[in-house]
Structures are given as C-alpha cells and as structure tokens.
Structure 1
Amino acid sequence: MSNTEPLTEAEKEACICLSTLFLDSEMTSAKIATMAQSLHRLRLPVQQLDNMLRHELFPILYPNLINPAGVWDGFDETDLIARVNDRRAHPQNLLQTLGNNVAWVMLRSSVMSSWARVRETLGQLDRDTSPKRPCSLALDRSSTR
C-alpha cells in the first residue's frame, strides 16, 4: 500500500511513537502500555499503523537494530518526519524494495514481538472504550401496560 500524501498530524505522532520499537532499549510493560495509550488516542486504524510500521518506518530505522552502538534514547523527531515524508514522495526502486524485504525477513522479530504486545493492548483499549449498547432484553414499559 503506497501513500504519497504528506503525513497528517496524527500520523506524525504515530511515527514518533512507533519509532520507539526501533530503539536499543528494553520494551517494558510500562512502555508497551504508554505506547498503546498514545496510539489509541490518535484513533488511527491498527491496519494503518501496521502499514506505517512495516513500509514507512522499518526501512528508515532498521539499521538501528543492527548497530552495536544504536540510538537508545529517541530519534530526532523532525528528521524522522522529514524522512517518512520524503519516502512517501519518492517511491523506492526495485533494488531498494528487495533490500528492505530481505532486512524485514531477517529483523522483523526484533520489532514484531513488542508490536504484538502493543497491538494486544490497543485491542483491549478499543474494547474497553467501545460504546455500550443497552440490553436488548430490557422491557419496553409501554408494552407492559
């Protein structure tokens, strides 16, 4: 799925949030919960977040996963947003796509194990905040008179 539009404000926030999956630091339960809450507030579909993670952020940030002295405290947000917008504006050639796919096969578990936990928490937040429907078995008072 390709998107050539610049990032929306919600997408920018999502990119910054999702980029923490690529940091050289432990993803604690507290970090997972905070990430899920932040993403939940943005109201972006999980499928869109999946796509952003895989096709927009991974190709930019995966080198940090293999760097012995990788970034551990956060990526430069302005640079990150500029790089994602540039990636959207300039589609990759076949060689770049192939290289990113090979990297994905080799490194996806480094990101996906934490992302799966975030997704699970997002699902729980969605269930907890979904509108409650009234019980369909409630008596209609007008029919009992």
Structure 2
Amino acid sequence: MSGEAEGRAHPHLEERRAVWEALSMMYLDADVASSREWRIAALAASPYSPTEMDAILRDEVHPVCFPNLLSPAGEWSGFDPVWLEQAIRNRRNGWGSRLLAAISRTLPVAFPREEWEATRQGVIALRRGAGPPQR
C-alpha cells in the first residue's frame, strides 16, 4: 500500500475501503460511466484529496484490478469487497509487480484514464458545490 509496510492496518481503513470500492468500479467489464455519479459522490465524501486518490488508484486499486480489463469474460457486476481489500493489503510489492502495474497504465485497455479524469473532475466540482458535471 502507498507508503505503508505491507500487511499493516491502515489507520482509516473504513474510509479507504469505500474509496477502494468506488475506484474499482472503473475496472468492470461494463458501461462504467453509468456508475459515475455514485462514484463521484462516494469519493467526494472521502477525506482524501484528488492527488491522494490518484495515488490510491495508481498504487493500490489498479495493480489488483487491471487484469479484469484484459479478460474476455471479466467481472461486470462489481468486485467482492472482502476480496478487494485482501488483494490490496496482501499485494506483493516486488519490482515485478510494480513494473507490470506501471506498464499496464500505458495500455489504453488496461487503465481507465478517461473515466478517471471525468470522475476526478466530478469530485472536484462536487466538493466546490457545483455538482457533478453533466454527461
């Protein structure tokens, strides 16, 4: 996990779980834009800044969820929250794992860049009181 010893409990685990779940929804084999408003509201309610959410997405959620976007029969209804937490907390932080995750972020099919940017901008707008951007 970002900046933490592997396996050590996160001090704000409940808040982190909600962010993990919201971000993981971008890795489903489905129309993820349809869950954008829910995702924006969940992320805006978190204590994390957009920059912190960037790191959570890149370093915690992406490495365990991106294989779903590469699978022809990927998960489409949502990741099991228990599995997601265990996968993130138990992820090996070896150089091979980090390299694979970094390479996958350059593949258009493996990193939800456009959806994340729309979600991120929606979080910023909602926190400013402007509401989520219209599609």
Q: TM-score, normalised by structure 1?
A: 0.78
How many correspondences in the alignment? 125
- Cα distance per residue 1:24-72 (max 9 Å; x no partner): 01123x5211110111112221111111111111111111001000000
More helix by share: 1
Partner residue, 1:105: 106
Partner residue, 1:142: none
Q: Does 1:53 align with 2:57?
A: yes
Show structure 1 runs of 4+ deviating over 3 A: 107-110
Partner residue, 2:85: 81
Uncovered stretches (5+) of structure 1, i.e. residues with no partner: 130-145
**Hey, what's the Cα distance between the residues in 2 that align with 1:53 and 1:108?**
16
* Offset of residue 2 of structure 1: 2.4
Partner residue, 2:22: 17
Which residue among 1, 6, 9 is the counterpart of 1:6? 9
RMSD over aligned Cα atoms: 1.9
Uncovered stretches (5+) of structure 2, i.e. residues with no partner: 131-135
Identity level (%): 22
Q: Computing the radius of gyration over CA atoms, which structure comes out larger, 1 or 2?
A: 1
**Hey, what's the Cα distance between the residues in 2 that align with 1:36 and 1:58?**
18
SS of residue paired to 1:42: coil
